[in-house]
Amino acid sequence: NDEKAQYIEKIKLLLIEKNAVLVAHYYTDPEIQALAEETGGCVADSLEMARFGKQHSAETLIVAGVKFMGETAKILTPEKSVLMPELEATCSLDLGCPIDEFSAFCDENPDHTVVVYANTSAAVKARADWVVTSSIALEIVDMLESEGKPILWGPDRHLGSYIEKETGAKMLMWQGACIVHDEFKASALRDLKLQYPDAAVLVHPESPANVVEMADAVGSTSQLIKASQEMPNTHFIVATDKGIFYKMEQANPEKTFLAAPTGGNGATCRSCASCPWMAMNGLKSIHDALVSPIGKEINVDESLAAQALIPLNRMLNFAA
Ligand code: 13P
Ligand code: SF4
C-alpha cells in the first residue's frame, strides 16, 4: 500500500545518504527481505549475516533480525555503527541462558570445552571457547569430538540432541529451547504427511527431536532453502518460522510449501510459527533507526566484545 511504498522509497535514499546497508534475516517480513536484496544488502541465515556485515564496506549496518545478530555484527566490526530497528527484539534462547547461571555451569565443569549457539548474549559468547550457528554446528562439534575433548553445550537442547545424534558426541547440556520451534508436533506432522505422502519434510534443528527424526533435510534457514531448490519433490512441509516461505516460494514458484503443524491435528497453519521478536522489525522502525539512531544503536562493552570475538573468529575461520 501507499504508506509502505513511501517508507521503502525513503529508506532507499537514507541508506545511500548514511552509507548504510541492510542485513536481514529470512524470518523478517517479505518487504524487508525484498528491500535488503534490492538495495545491495543481504537476506541470509545467521552465519551469512555475520560474514556479510564483516566484509561490507558500509559505515553503518542496519541489522533486521534479533539482538544477538546485532551484537555479533558489532563485535565483528566495532568500527561500524550497528543499528537495529528494535533493540527489544531478543530471542528465547538468549533470554533462557543468563550469563551468571551459565558461567556457574561452566565453572562446575572446568575440563569441558564450552560450545555455545550464536543465539546467545555477548557475555555468554565471551565465556565460550567456540560459537556455532546451526549451519556449522555439526562440523565444529565433530572436529572437537575427534580431538577427544569433553563438550559443554548451550543453550538449545534440541539442537544439542541433534548434534549428539549426528556426531556421536555426548555433551553436557544447558536445557534451553526456542519458543517457536518447540511448538512443532510430530503426531500432527505424521497426519499431514498422510495427506501429502510425497511431500519432503524440511526441519530447522531447533525443533523437537521427534520432529527432526521425520525430516528429509535438517539445517539452517539457508540450508533449508537450498534443499527446497535441490530436492525434486513438488510439495514440502516446512518446520521453521513462516518468514522462510517468502524466499522458498520465490526460488521455487512451481512448488508448494506447507507449514508444519503446531497444533493437535494435521492442520497446516501459515501464521502459527512466527517469532514474536523477528516480527518487531518493520519498515517504519528501519526508517526511524536511519533517521535517528538514538535508542537504536547496538553497543557491546569493549572488554566483553574482545573476549567474545575469539570464539566468533574461531567459527568464521573454521567455516571459511
Ligand atoms: P539460522 O542460523 O538458521 O538462520 O537460525 C537462526 C534462528 O534464530 C533460528 O530460529
Ligand atoms: Fe530465537 Fe526462536 Fe526467534 Fe530464532 S525463532 S530468534 S531461536 S526465538
Q: Which of 173, 201, 221 is the last residue of a domain?
A: 173
pLDDT band of residue 263 (cuts 50, 70, 90) is confident
Is residue 306 one of the residues assigned to a domain?
no
Which residue's CA is the closest to the ligand 1 atom numbered 3?
A: 220
Is 91 one of the annotated binding-site residues? yes
DSSP lists the bridge partners of residue 64 as: 24
Q: What percent of the chain clears pLDDT 70, i.e. is strictly above it?
A: 100
pLDDT digits (tens, 9 = 90+) for 175-223: 999 999 999 999 999 999 999 999 999 999 999 999 999 999 999 999 9
Q: Is the per-residue pLDDT at 80 higher than 90?
A: yes
Ligand closest to Cα of 91 equals: 2
Q: Which of 117, 144, 173 is the last residue of a domain?
A: 173
Atom of ligand 2 nearest to the CA of 66: 6
Residue 122 lies in domain: 93-173
Which residue's CA is the closest to the ligand 2 atom numbered 7?
A: 178
Atom of ligand 1 nearest to the CA of 47: 2
Is residue 64 one of the residues assigned to a domain?
yes
For residue 36, how many other CB atoms are within 10 A of its CB? 24
114/164 same-domain check = yes
CA 93 to ligand 2 center in whole angstroms:
7
The helix-helix angle for 221-230 and 46-55 (nearest 10°) equals: 110
Is residue 271 one of the residues assigned to a domain?
no
pLDDT digits (tens, 9 = 90+) for 265-292: 888 999 999 999 999 999 999 999 999 9
Is residue 265 one of the residues assigned to a domain?
no
pLDDT digits (tens, 9 = 90+) for 16-61: 999 999 999 999 999 999 999 999 999 999 999 999 999 999 999 9
Q: Which of 146, 173, 200 is the last residue of a domain?
A: 173
**Count of domains for the chain:** 3
CA 90 to ligand 1 center in whole angstroms:
13
Ligand closest to Cα of 133 equals: 1
Q: What residues are in contact with ligand 1 under a 6 Å CB criterion?
A: 45-46, 119, 133-135, 178, 204, 206, 220-221
pLDDT digits (tens, 9 = 90+) for 134-168: 999 999 999 999 999 899 999 999 999 999 999 99
DSSP 170-189: -EEE--B--TTGGG--HHHH
Residue 60 is predicted with a pLDDT of: 98
Cis peptide before 98 (omega within 30 of 0): no
78/15 same-domain check = yes
225/159 same-domain check = no
pLDDT band of residue 85 (cuts 50, 70, 90) is very high
Instruction: Take residue 73 and report the three cell numbers written for it.
Output: 555484527
CA 208 to ligand 1 center in whole angstroms:
15
Residue 320 is predicted with a pLDDT of: 80
